Amino acid sequence: MIVVAAGAALIDVVAVRAGRPAAAWRRHLSVELGTRPVDDVWILTGAAAAAAVGLWLIILALTPGLRHWLPLRSPAPGLRASLDRDGAADLLRDAAMQVPGVSRARIRVRRHRVKARADVRFRDLQQVKDDLTAVLYEERDRLVLARPPRIVVRVRQRTD
């Protein structure tokens, strides 16, 4: 409802800027708002409604929500489960540390992408990257996520 009203107002403003006259509903609304006193019941009601909507939007913006949770595939229609992103990162990090040559792994899990960075002490970088990618994809598939994220792997040689 609000999107439709905002879209109609935007279309009318664009039409006015293009040189056409304002729509009748907008002219009528501007006359009504310009002639009514500020202490009118309808003006106060509209202001209270706008303030309540604004307060509600601020509350929604400050609440954490469920963005930190990754939804899991459900075997039954009424069953819902999710996995914490930090928990998923820990599981993926444990799997990455099992790859020979990886001395340190940092995993960052987002909704659409997993970024994996690994330090390699020995072995060829490309071999470690291929093994690490395969292990991370296997572990990601074991997590049974509803929308499996893409995995990006970066490796670097550490000699110190």
User: What's the rounded mean pLDDT across residues 61-87?
Assistant: 88
Residues in a beta bridge with 133: none
Residue 1 pLDDT greater than 80, yes or no: no
Cα dist from 135 to 68, 128, 131, whole Å: 24, 10, 6
**pLDDT (0 to 100) of residue 67:** 82
Cβ pair 104, 119 in contact under 8 A:
yes
Q: Residue 156: which of 127, 118, 105 has the closest Cα? A: 118
**Residue 137, Cβ neighbours under 10 Å: how many?**
15
**pLDDT (0 to 100) of residue 57:** 93
Q: How far apart are the first and last CA of the chain?
A: 62
Q: Is the pTM of this model over 0.85?
A: no
Cβ pair 100, 123 in contact under 8 A:
yes
